[in-house]
C-alpha cells in the first residue's frame, strides 16, 4: 500500500519541481499538494490528515507550527547553503542592505557578508505577525531588499516599495526530504502494527489488566478489566488508582511494601483472584501492574481441562446393558445399581475377583449425572505404597527425586466432576487410608510437596474381594474410612451363584473372540456346555473369559472344541487319594471338593509356582493364597 504524503509549499512555482521529484517515488507514494504558510497552512494540513496522510512535508517555520497542531510527523524541507547563496547573489542586484527571514538564527553569515561586501539582517519570526513586524522594522532601519520563502515576502516588500527575492529548495534537497518522509512513514507503520498487535493481545486476555505509573495514575486498562469493574477505560485513564479502585491497594506496591499474589477479593458480588507486581527500572519502582480474573472463569477453565482428560482414556466404556442375566440375584444387583447411580453417595462393591466390579462401577457412572465427566480407575493392590500416594494425590515439581518437571495431577484432580474407582481398597496402606479419609471429608487434596489446597468434586466407588468388616475388627482397615465408603453397598454374586447365566455369557464371549480372530462361532455340544456350567469358576467371569478365549484361539472345529473342554474338565475331575480313597464321579463332588482338586491340579502343572498358577486360574496371587487358606490346603 502506497504511503500518503502531504506537501504544503509556500508559493505555486514550487509545484513543478515537486511533481518532477515525485515521479521518482511514484511506486511508493500518493502525493497531496497545497500551499500556505504559518497559520494559513494549519487547516490545509488537517484536511490532508482527514484524507489519510501519514506524513506532511513543509518549509521551516510552517513545519514547526504544524508539528504543534497535528498528530502525524511533519518533515521540514531544508534550504541548502547553495540555495541561500544563490538568493543572496540575486538580492545584491537590488541593494547591499539585505533582510533575511528565518525561523532560527543562521551562523556564519559574516563570511558571506565579507565575500559579497553586503550587510545581512536576520529577521527571526515564529508566526505571521512576527514575520510582518520584523520585515517592516528592517525596512525602517534601511533594508533595501528582503529574502524570504513565501509570497508574503514579495507582497510586504512591494507594499514598502522595495524588492523581494524568494529562496526555495533544490531538487536534491526535496529528494532527500521525501526519502526521509517515506522512511518516517514506514517506521510509523511498523510501530503502529506493533502497537495494534500488543493492544489486540492486551485486550484479548481473559485476565483483567490494570497498569499505573509512578504517581499511581492509571495508564492501561483492558477490556477484561472493563467487564470486571463495569467501567470504560476512558473513564479511568489518568485517574488515581487509589481513588477509583482502593481495594487493590496498588499504591502499597509503589511504596515497596508488598506484592500481592493470588489474593481473593470481592468486587461487588463477584469473587476475583488478584495479583500485583511492581514495574522496576534499575533499582527504582516506576509503576505497578495488576492482574484480575473471575474465580468462576478459573473454575470453568479447570472443568474444561479436566473434561479433556476423558479423551485421554479416563472414560467409562461399559454400560448396564453389558449385564445380560437370567439370574434373580444378578437382576437384584442391577436394580440396586440403577437406584444408587443418580445419587452422589459413595458406594462399596463387594465380590470375588472376576465378578465384574469395575464393569458395574463404570455402569453406575454411565447412569449418573457425572457420565460426561472422567471415570478414573486404579487398583490399590498393584501399585507400591510410595507410588500410590503420588498417583492418587499428585505432586509438585521437586517433591522427590525423579519428580516430573511441572509436577503431576493426581487421579482425584483428574476425576474432578466425575467418578474415581478404587479397586482392592482393602489392601490400601494405613497411612494412605488416613489421607483418603481427609479427602472424602474435606473434598480437597494437597499434592505431595505442595502448599496449595485443590478442591475436588468426586464420587468414590470402592471395591474389595476381602471381608472389610473383618479387616476393621483386626485393625487392618480404619473404621471411620469404612463408614465413609460403605454408605451404599452392593454384593456381587459369584459365577457359581448364577449358573443359569453361564451359557449366555459363553455365547457373548465366544462371538467376541471369534470376531477378533476372524473365525466362525463354534457350536458347543450340550455335554460341553454342562461341563462348563459345572466348573467351580474360582476366577468367575474373568476365568470363563480366559478359557473361552483360549478355546477360540486353539480350536478349528466343533470336535476340537469338545476335546478342549474335556481336557479342561479333567483338570477339575476327581483325583484319587486326594479327597478320599473311593472312586467318584464328578456329579458326587461338592463345590469345595472341586475347588481343592482344581487347585491341586493347577499347582502341580505349574510346578507349584504361585504366580503361574494364579495366572492360569485367572485370579490374583493374593486371591489364590486366600483360597488355599480357606480350603485348609497346604
* Average pLDDT, integer, range 585-606: 62
Which pTM does this prediction carry? 0.52
Q: Are residues 235 and 372 in the same domain?
A: no
Backbone dihedral angles phi then psi of residue 274, each to the nearest 5 degrees: -125, 135
Q: Which of 91, 55, 93 is nearest to 76 (CA)?
A: 55
State the residue for C-alpha cell 524568494: 166
Q: Are residues 17 and 131 in the same domain?
A: no
User: Is the Cβ–Cβ distance between 213 and 286 less than 8 Å?
Assistant: yes
Strands 29-35 and 3-9 come out as parallel
User: Is the Cβ–Cβ distance between 412 and 455 less than 8 Å?
Assistant: no
60 or 585, which is more confident = 60
The pLDDT confidence band at residue 108, using thresholds 50, 70 and 90, is confident
Q: Are residues 473 and 577 in the same domain?
A: no
Instruction: Give the up-direction half-sphere exposure of residue 612: CA atoms within 13 A in the CB hemisphere.
Output: 9
Residue 123 lies in a domain: yes
Residue 135: give its domain's CATH number: 3.40.50.10660
Residue 581 lies in a domain: yes
Q: Are residues 625 and 510 in the same domain?
A: yes
Q: Are residues 86 and 39 in the same domain?
A: no
pLDDT digits (tens, 9 = 90+) for 271-291: 888 888 888 888 888 888 988
Residue 12: give its domain's CATH number: 3.40.50.2300
**Is pLDDT of 403 > 90?**
no
Give the whole-angstrom CA distance, residue 583 versus residue 500: 29
List the domain range (segments joined by +) for residue 51: 3-78+172-187
**Average pLDDT of the residues of the chain:** 86
**Is pLDDT of 310 > 70?**
no
Query: 286 pairs with which residues across the strands?
Result: none
pLDDT digits (tens, 9 = 90+) for 550-585: 999 989 999 999 999 988 887 765 433 333 333 333
Angle (CA) 493 495 497, round 5°: 60
Element (DSSP H or E) covering residue 148: strand 145-148
Give the whole-angstrom CA distance, residue 629 versus residue 61: 109
As for how many domains the chain has, the answer is 5
Residue 304 lies in a domain: no
158 or 258, which is more confident = 158
Question: What CA dihedral angle connects 450, 456, 458 and 461, to 10 degrees?
Answer: 30
Buried b (16+ CB within 10 A) or exposed e, 274-294: bebebbeeeeeeebbbbbbbb
**Is pLDDT of 467 > 90?**
no
The pLDDT confidence band at residue 335, using thresholds 50, 70 and 90, is very high
Residue 447: give its domain's CATH number: 3.40.50.300
Q: How many residues can be counted in the chain?
A: 634
Q: Are residues 482 and 339 in the same domain?
A: yes
Q: Which residues contact 27 (CB under 8 A, 6 or more apart)?
A: 2
**Domain edge (last residue) among 229, 264, 297:** 297
* Average pLDDT, integer, range 85-100: 92
Q: Are residues 245 and 281 in the same domain?
A: yes
**Domain edge (last residue) among 491, 525, 549:** 491
User: Cell numbers at residue 122, please?
Assistant: 536576520
**Domain edge (last residue) among 441, 468, 491:** 491
So what's the pLDDT on residue 575?
Answer: 38
Q: Are residues 292 and 379 in the same domain?
A: no
Q: Are residues 138 and 269 in the same domain?
A: no
List the alpha helices (DSSP H) in 517-607.
Answer: 526-533, 540-554, 558-571, 591-605
372 or 398, which is more confident = 372
Q: Helix 502-516 to helix 540-554 angle, to the nearest 10 degrees?
A: 40
Residue 200 lies in a domain: no
Residue 194 lies in a domain: no
Q: Are residues 274 and 129 in the same domain?
A: no
Residue 234 lies in a domain: yes
Q: Which residues contact 398 (CB under 8 A, 6 or more apart)?
A: 449
Residue 550: give its domain's CATH number: 1.10.8.60
Q: Are residues 353 and 254 in the same domain?
A: no
So what's the pLDDT on residue 367?
Answer: 95
Q: Are residues 383 and 457 in the same domain?
A: yes
Residue 283: give its domain's CATH number: 3.30.450.20
User: Is the Cβ–Cβ distance between 384 and 428 less than 8 Å?
Assistant: no
Residue 199 lies in a domain: no
**Is pLDDT of 619 > 80?**
no
Residue 305 lies in a domain: no
User: Is the Cβ–Cβ distance between 139 and 129 less than 8 Å?
Assistant: no
Query: Would you say the C-alpha torsion 348, 352, 355, 359 has a positive or negative sign?
Result: positive
Amino acid at each position: 500500500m502506497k504511503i500518503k504524503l502531504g506537501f504544503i509549499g509556500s508559493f505555486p512555482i514550487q509545484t513543478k519541481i515537486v511533481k518532477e521529484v515525485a515521479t521518482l517515488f511514484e511506486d511508493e507514494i500518493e502525493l497531496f499538494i497545497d500551499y500556505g504558510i504559518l497559520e494559513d497552512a494549519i487547516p490545509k494540513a488537517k484536511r490532508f490528515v482527514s484524507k489519510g496522510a501519514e506524513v506532511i512535508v513543509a518549509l521551516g517555520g510552517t513545519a514547526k507550527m504544524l508539528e504543534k497542531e497535528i498528530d502525524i510527523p511533519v518533515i521540514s524541507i531544508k534550504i541548502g547553503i547553495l540555495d541561500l547563496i544563490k538568493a543572496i547573489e540575486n538580492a545584491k542586484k537590488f541593494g547591499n542592505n539585505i533582510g533575511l527571514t528565518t525561523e532560527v538564527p543562521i551562523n556564519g553569515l559574516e563570511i558571506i557578508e565579507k565575500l559579497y561586501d553586503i550587510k545581512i539582517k536576520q529577521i527571526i519570526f515564529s508566526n505571521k505577525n512576527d514575520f510582518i513586524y520584523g520585515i517592516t522594522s528592517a525596512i525602517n532601519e534601511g533594508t533595501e531588499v528582503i529574502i524570504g520563502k513565501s509570497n508574503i515576502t514579495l507582497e510586504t516588500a512591494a507594499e514598502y516599495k522595495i524588492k523581494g527575492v524568494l529562496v526555495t529548495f533544490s531538487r536534491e534537497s526535496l529528494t532527500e526530504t521525501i526519502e526521509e518522509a517515506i522512511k518516517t512513514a514506514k517506521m510509523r507503520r511498523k510501530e503502529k502494527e506493533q502497537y495494534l498487535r500488543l493492544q489486540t493481545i492486551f485486550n484479548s486476555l481473559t485476565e483483567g489488566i490494570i497498569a499505573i505509573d509512578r504517581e499511581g495514575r492509571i495508564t492501561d486498562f483492558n477490556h477484561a478489566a472493563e467487564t470486571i469493574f463495569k467501567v470504560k477505560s476512558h473513564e479511568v485513564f489518568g485517574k488515581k488508582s487509589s481513588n477509583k479502585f482502593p481495594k487493590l491497594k496498588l499504591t502499597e506496591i509503589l511504596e515497596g511494601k508488598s506484592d500481592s499474589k493470588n489474593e481473593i477479593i470481592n468486587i461487588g458480588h463477584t469473587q476475583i483472584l488478584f495479583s500485583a507486581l511492581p514495574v522496576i527500572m534499575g533499582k527504582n519502582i516506576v509503576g505497578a501492574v495488576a492482574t484480575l480474573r473471575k474465580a468462576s472463569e478459573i473454575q470453568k477453565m479447570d472443568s474444561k481441562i479436566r473434561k479433556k482428560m476423558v479423551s485421554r482414556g479416563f472414560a467409562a466404556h461399559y454400560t448396564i446393558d453389558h449385564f445380560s442375566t437370567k439370574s434373580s440375584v444378578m437382576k437384584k444387583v442391577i436394580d440396586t445399581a440403577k437406584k444408587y447411580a443418580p445419587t452422589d453417595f459413595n458406594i462399596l462393591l463387594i465380590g470375588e475377583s472376576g465378578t465384574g466390579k469395575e464393569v458395574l462401577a463404570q455402569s453406575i457412572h454411565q447412569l449418573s449425572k457425572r457420565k460426561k465427566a472422567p471415570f478414573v480407575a486404579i487398583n490399590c493392590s498393584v501399585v507400591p505404597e510410595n507410588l500410590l500416594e503420588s498417583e492418587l494425590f499428585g505432586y509438585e515439581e521437586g517433591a522427590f527425586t525423579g519428580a516430573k518437571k511441572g509436577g503431576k495431577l493426581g487421579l482425584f484432580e483428574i476425576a474432578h466432576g466425575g467418578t474415581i474407582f478404587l479397586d482392592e481398597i482393602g489392601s490400601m496402606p494405613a497411612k494412605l487410608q488416613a489421607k483418603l479419609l481427609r479427602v472424602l471429608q474435606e473434598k480437597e487434596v494437597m499434592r505431595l510437596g505442595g502448599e496449595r489446597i485443590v478442591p475436588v468434586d468426586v464420587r468414590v466407588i470402592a471395591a474389595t474381594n476381602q471381608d472389610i468388616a473383618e479387616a476393621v475388627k483386626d485393625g487392618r482397615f480404619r473404621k471411620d474410612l469404612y463408614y465413609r465408603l460403605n454408605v451404599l453397598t452392593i454384593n456381587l454374586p459369584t459365577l457359581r451363584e448364577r449358573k443359569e447365566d453361564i451359557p449366555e455369557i459363553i455365547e457373548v464371549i465366544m462371538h467376541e473372540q471369534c470376531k477378533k480372530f476372524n473365525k466362525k462361532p463354534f457350536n458347543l455340544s450340550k455335554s460341553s456346555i454342562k461341563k462348563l456350567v459345572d466348573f467351580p469358576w474360582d476366577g468367575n467371569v474373568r476365568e470363563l473369559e480366559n478359557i473361552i478365549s483360549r478355546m477360540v484361539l486353539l480350536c478349528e472345529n466343533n470336535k476340537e472344541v469338545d476335546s478342549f473342554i474335556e481336557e479342561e474338565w479333567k483338570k477339575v475331575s476327581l483325583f484319587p487319594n486326594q479327597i478320599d480313597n473311593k472312586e467318584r464321579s464328578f456329579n458326587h463332588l461338592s463345590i469345595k471338593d472341586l475347588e481343592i482338586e482344581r487347585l491341586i491340579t493347577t499347582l502341580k502343572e505349574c510346578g507349584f509356582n504361585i504366580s503361574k498358577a494364579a495366572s492360569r486360574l485367572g485370579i490374583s496371587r493374593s486371591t489364590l493364597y486366600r483360597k488355599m487358606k480357606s480350603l485348609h490346603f497346604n
